[in-house]
Amino acid sequence: MIDYLKEAARVRPSRKQLDWFDLEWYAFIHFGPNTFTDREWGQGNEPESVFNPTHLDCDQWAEAIKAAGMKGMVLTAKHHDGFCLWPSRYTEHSVKNSPYRGDVVKEAADACRRAGIRFGVYLSPWDRNSEYYGTPEYNDYFCNQLTELLTGYGDIFYVWFDNACGEGSNGKKQVYDFPRYFELINKYQPNAVIFNDYGPDIRWCGNEAGAARHAEWSVIPSELCKYSRVQTGSGPLADEGNLSFLYNTEKELGSMPNILYSKGLTYTPAEINMSIRPGWFWHKEEEPHSLERLFQTYLTSVGANACMHLNLPPTTEGLLDERDVKRLKELGDLVRKELGHSIPAVIEKQAGSPLTQPVYTIDLKEPVKRLNYIVLKEEIEKGQRVESFRIVAEFSSGNQYPIYQGTCIGHKKICQLQDPFALQNPLINDSKGLISRLRVQITAARDEVFLKEIQVF
Ligand code: FUL
C-alpha cells in the first residue's frame, strides 16, 4: 500500500502542463451566428448573412482580458452550428460568405500577440452543418480544418475540444477520432495543451458553475482520463473493484480509495470553466454575474489546484459588452488588492520523520491584527503529495488557535480566512490580539512533502 502511494506521489506533470498551470486564468470567447440569432446552440442551417459584426475590434477584447490580469484567450473558431470564423477552404459555411468578409481568427490571434497574451482555439467536433457529419469522411474534414487553424495563426497555446456528440443535419451521429486529432496537434503545435473531458492534458472539472472539488487532485485514475499518459501500475486493490463508472461529475476523483482501486494513474489537472453571464453567447438582456460570485470562483479555481477559464461573449457589434468590461476590471482590481502584496515573513521547515509530516513555521516580520489569505504551493514538478494540512496561528500573547484545515494543495491553494464582502470576519478578530507566527502542519501525505511557496496576505 505504502509503495503504491509513493508511486502515486511520483506521477508528474509535463512541461506544457506546468506552463499552463502558471497561466492560472484565461478567457473564453464565444462568438458566431448564435450571437446574432440570440441562441446558445445553433442548428447549422443559419444563413451566413446573419454573421454581421458592425464594429469588430479584437484589440478591445484583448485589452479587457489583459486589464483583468488574465493571460490568454480561447476563441470558438467553430461552434456546434458548424460556422467557421475563418475562411476555411473546406466549407462554404464561414465568414467568407457573410457580410463581414474578414478572418476573425486572424484578428483575434494578432490582437493577442499585440497585447502579449496567449491565443488558443475551440473547435467543436459536433457539427450540425457539415454534410459529412456521421460518416468516416467527417474525421478527414475535421482534421483539415484543424490543420488550417494549427498552421495559419502562429503559436497556439490551447486546443479545446467539446465532447458533445449530437446528431448532424442528416440525423446521424459521429464517432470522433480523437487520437488522430491529438496527433495533428502534437505535430504542428507540440507546446499546445489539449482539453477534453477525458484528457490528455487538461480535463473538465464536471460543472459549468465554477465550482472545484473540496479536493481537486491532478493525479487521477486512468479509468477517467483514458487519453492521458498512464504513469503507474495498478493499485493494490485494483482486482477488488471497478472504476469504469468514473465520470467528471463524481464528487471524488483522485481521493485515496479511487487511487488504490485504480488500474493506473495519470496526471490530468482540472479546468474550471464558466461564463461571466448565464449564457455562453451574448444575450442583450443578461447581466454579468456579481463581483462576489466571480471572485469566489477565482479563489475556488486558481486557488484550488485548477485554472479558471472565464467566458466573455462579444456583442452583435463585435465588441465586449461594457457591463462585462467593467466587471472584469473590478475583478482584476480586487484580485490585485487582495492577493497582490504579501506580508514579509521568514519561513522555516522542520522536516518530518518516517512517521511524521513536516511543519512549516512562518514568522511574520511585524505582528499583524488580521490575516486575509494564506497561499500554499507544492513543488508539483516532483508530483502532488499533500493529502491534508492544518494552519495554526500564534498570537503575541502566546495563545494558539487553529485557523484553517484543508485537503490537497498541488499547484496553488488559497486558504481564505476572511470574506472581503462580509462585514465581520468570523475566523480571526481583533479581540485575540496580534498574530506573530503561523504553523502549517502537513497532517497526511503520499510521500515526502516539498512546499515551493508560502505567502501570507
Ligand atoms: C459546452 C457547449 O455545448 C456550450 O455551448 C459551450 O461551448 C461550453 C463551453 O461547452 O459543452
Each residue of 5-17: pLDDT tens digit?
A: 999 999 999 999 9
pLDDT at 386: 97
pLDDT at 432: 67
Q: Whose CA is nearest to atom 10 of ligand 1?
A: 162
Residue range 234-242: average pLDDT? 95
pLDDT at 70: 98
Residues in the chain: 457
> Is residue 186 scored above 90 in pLDDT?
yes
Please give the number of the atom of ligand 1 that sits closest to the Cα of 163: 11
Closest Cα partner for 121 from 62, 81, 79?
A: 79
Please give the number of the atom of ligand 1 that sits closest to the Cα of 275: 9
Cβ proximity of 342 and 307 under 8 Å: no
Q: How many angstroms separate the alpha carbon of residue 124 from the centre of ligand 1?
A: 9
Cα–Cα dist 306/158, whole Å: 15
Give the pairing type, strands 451-456 and 386-395.
Answer: unpaired
Which of 76, 162, 204 most suits a substitution to test ligand 1, by most atoms within 8 Å of the C-beta? Answer: 162
φ/ψ (deg, to 5) at 310: -105, 120
Mean pLDDT of the chain, nearest integer: 95
Residue range 60-71: average pLDDT? 97
165 SS3 class: coil
pLDDT band at 158, cuts 50/70/90?
Answer: very high
Cα–Cα dist 244/281, whole Å: 34
Tell me the three cell numbers of residue 167.
446528431
Percent residues over pLDDT 90 in the chain: 91
- Residue in the structure block whose three cell numbers are 462576489: 292
436 SS3 class: strand
pLDDT at 449: 94
Each residue of 167-184: pLDDT tens digit?
A: 998 899 999 999 999 999
Each residue of 80-134: pLDDT tens digit?
A: 999 999 999 999 999 999 999 999 999 999 999 999 999 999 999 999 999 999 9
Q: Whose CA is nearest to atom 2 of ligand 1?
A: 162
pLDDT at 170: 86
Each residue of 332-385: pLDDT tens digit?
A: 999 999 999 999 999 999 987 766 789 999 999 999 988 999 999 999 999 999
Q: How many angstroms separate the alpha carbon of residue 280 from the centre of ligand 1?
A: 7
> Is residue 31 scored above 60 in pLDDT?
yes
Query: What sign does the CA torsion over 209, 214, 215, 221 have?
Result: negative
Query: Exposure pattern of 72-110 as b/e (b: 16+ CB <10 Å)?
Result: bbbbbbbbbbbbbbbbbebbebbbbebebeebbbbbbbb
Please give the number of the atom of ligand 1 that sits closest to the Cα of 40: 5
φ/ψ (deg, to 5) at 29: -125, 115
Q: How many angstroms separate the alpha carbon of residue 41 from the centre of ligand 1?
A: 9
pLDDT band at 1, cuts 50/70/90?
Answer: confident
Does the predicted model carry a pTM greater than 0.85?
A: yes
pLDDT band at 428, cuts 50/70/90?
Answer: low
pLDDT at 351: 85
Which of 280, 282, 310 most suits a substitution to test ligand 1, by most atoms within 8 Å of the C-beta? Answer: 280
> Is residue 424 scored above 70 in pLDDT?
no
* Cα 176 to chain centroid, rounded: 23
Q: Name every protein residue with a CB atom under 6 angstroms from any ligand 1 atom.
A: 40, 162, 164, 273, 280
> How far lies 10's CA from each of 3, 335, 384, 441, in Å?
11, 33, 8, 22
Q: How many angstroms separate the alpha carbon of residue 332 from the centre of ligand 1?
A: 25
> Strand pairing partners for 29?
75
Residue range 51-57: average pLDDT? 98
pLDDT at 90: 98
Q: Whose CA is nearest to atom 4 of ligand 1?
A: 280
* DSSP-assigned letter for residue 95: G
